[in-house]
């Protein structure tokens, strides 16, 4: 059923409820900015924006004696007009590390992300002449180094992690082996599926049984932006999915409201995003301890392998559901180690021209 499933209907409804709850805590100036983004931005993104703006206004309330931190909703354009570039710089330092009260520590990437809605809010009100100046305009964001060494698994590591789950060698004790026998088929199906299709962890979590079509070996998934898509899988994926569906899954007693899910927890609930992330990390830590493997790294592994086999970056972008092809290029077009190996024989000054 894809995006028409009850799971996605409930998910969308709950996100809207959560967003309204957060907006109700924001000053009107911030709430107006969030409302202006509702038709162009996903609710999950707006929820993150709202949390980040709440963090900023709480910072103001705690650090500025002229602001009543007990009621952030009283903050108005007059207060925004008094905020300077120095205040924004101080806030960036606060985001980097704070050990008093609301404790946190953020790297440069996280700081840049948390600054994005703040910059957007000030720009929004400045262009509408609600404030006289935009204090964020002259403040530099942390400089981010582009990480060219995307973590991914090679063919040997992929086979090793799947074999370890299948054969039970991923478990370090008899107790673990006994416990994980109950989920071996499910775990093998999830990792095989993700490694051979590149689907996101949220797309895997949202799968219903009727989203699988074994006649053409396809899956109906709901992408990150809420759009529906159909992807295709190979016979290896088909075999492990059938083994799980006709085996472990038949013995699950789902709780009410979770009857349609493809993958279950041992409690009979739809397996959560966190649970998928944890099981990927669990197996990877045992089999590939020198690499920090997450579900997104499984996606990078598939994307890199697909690009290596086809050389078609647009195909990779389409299969992975990237709206912007530059995202794909950044991740997969520069396979540095292979390029370096190719370069060693590219130049030969003793070679005679023919």
User: Cβ(209)–Cβ(241) under 8 Å?
Assistant: no
> What is residue 270's three-state secondary structure?
strand
Give 42-105 as a DSSP string. Answer: -HHHHHHHHHHHHHHHHHHHHH-TTS-TT-GGG--HHHHHH--HHHHHHHHHHHHEE-SSS-EE
Give residue 166's pLDDT.
86
Given the candidates 1.20.120.420, 1.10.443.10, 1.10.10.10, 3.40.50.300, the CATH classification of the domain at 155-341 is 1.10.443.10
User: Cβ(287)–Cβ(160) under 8 Å?
Assistant: yes
* pLDDT tens figures, 240-267: 999 999 999 999 999 999 999 999 999 9
Across 196-333, the runs of DSSP E, i.e. the strands, are 212-213, 218-222, 228-232
pLDDT at 69 over 60: no
Give residue 73's pLDDT.
86
Q: What is the mean pLDDT of residues 97-124?
A: 91
User: Cβ(334)–Cβ(149) under 8 Å?
Assistant: no
What pLDDT band is residue 180 in, cutting at 50, 70 and 90? confident
d(CA 16, CA 11): 9
Give residue 36's pLDDT.
97
Give residue 4's pLDDT.
86
* pLDDT tens figures, 316-351: 999 999 888 888 887 676 565 555 565 666 665 566
**Chain mean position to CA 44:** 11
* pLDDT tens figures, 12-52: 999 999 999 999 999 999 999 999 999 999 999 999 999 99
> Residue 31: what are its φ and ψ, rounded to 5°?
-60, -40
Q: What is the mean pLDDT of residues 225-239?
A: 93
d(CA 160, CA 352): 45
What pLDDT band is residue 2 in, cutting at 50, 70 and 90? confident
What pLDDT band is residue 103 in, cutting at 50, 70 and 90? confident
Give residue 168's pLDDT.
74
Across the chain, the runs of DSSP E, i.e. the strands, are 97-98, 104-105, 212-213, 218-222, 228-232
**Of the candidates 85, 80, 136, 143, the residue with the CA atom closest to the CA atom of residue 111:** 143
The domain locations on the chain are 2-127, 155-341
User: Cβ(217)–Cβ(233) under 8 Å?
Assistant: yes
The mean-pLDDT minimum among 6-10, 120-124, 193-197 falls in 6-10
Q: What is the mean pLDDT of residues 76-82?
A: 92
Query: Per the structure block, which two tokens stand in for 234?
Result: 């190979």
What pLDDT band is residue 147 in, cutting at 50, 70 and 90? low
Q: What is the mean pLDDT of residues 270-287?
A: 93
């Amino acid at each position: 059923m894809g995006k028409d499933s009850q799971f996605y209907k409930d998910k969308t409804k709950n996100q809207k409820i959560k967003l309204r709850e957060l907006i109700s805590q924001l000053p009107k100036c911030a709430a107006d900015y969030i409302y202006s983004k509702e038709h162009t931005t996903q609710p999950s993104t707006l929820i993150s924006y709202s949390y980040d703006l709440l963090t900023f206004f709480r910072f103001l309330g705690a650090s500025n004696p002229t602001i009543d931190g007990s009621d952030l909703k009283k903050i108005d354009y007059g207060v925004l007009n008094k905020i300077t570039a120095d205040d924004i710089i101080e806030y960036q330092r606060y985001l980097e590390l704070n050990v008093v009260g609301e404790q946190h520590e953020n790297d440069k990437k996280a700081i840049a992300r948390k600054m994005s809605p703040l910059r957007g809010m000030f720009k929004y009100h400045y262009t509408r002449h609600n404030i006289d100046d935009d204090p964020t305009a002259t403040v530099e964001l942390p400089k981010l180094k582009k990480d060219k060494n995307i973590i991914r698994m090679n063919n040997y590591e992929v086979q090793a992690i799947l074999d370890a789950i299948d054969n039970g060698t991923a478990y370090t004790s008899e107790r673990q082996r006994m416990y994980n026998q109950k989920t071996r088929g499910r775990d093998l199906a999830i990792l095989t599926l993700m490694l051979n299709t590149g689907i996101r962890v949220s797309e895997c979590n949202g799968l219903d049984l009727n989203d699988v079509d074994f006649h053409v070996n396809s899956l109906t998934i709901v992408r990150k932006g809420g759009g529906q898509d159909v992807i295709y899988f190979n016979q290896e994926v088909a075999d492990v999915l059938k083994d799980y569906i006709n085996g472990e899954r038949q013995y699950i007693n789902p709780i009410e409201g979770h009857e349609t899910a493809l993958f279950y927890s041992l409690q009979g609930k739809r397996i959560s995003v966190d649970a998928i992330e944890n099981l990927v990390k669990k197996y990877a830590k045992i089999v590939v301890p020198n690499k920090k493997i997450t579900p997104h790294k499984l996606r990078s592994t598939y994307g890199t392998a697909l690009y290596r086999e086809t050389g078609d970056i647009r195909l990779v972008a389409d299969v992975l559901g990237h709206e912007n092809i530059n995202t794909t290029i950044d991740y997969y077009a520069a396979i540095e180690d292979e390029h370096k190996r190719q370069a060693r024989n590219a130049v030969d000054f003793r070679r005679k021209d023919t």
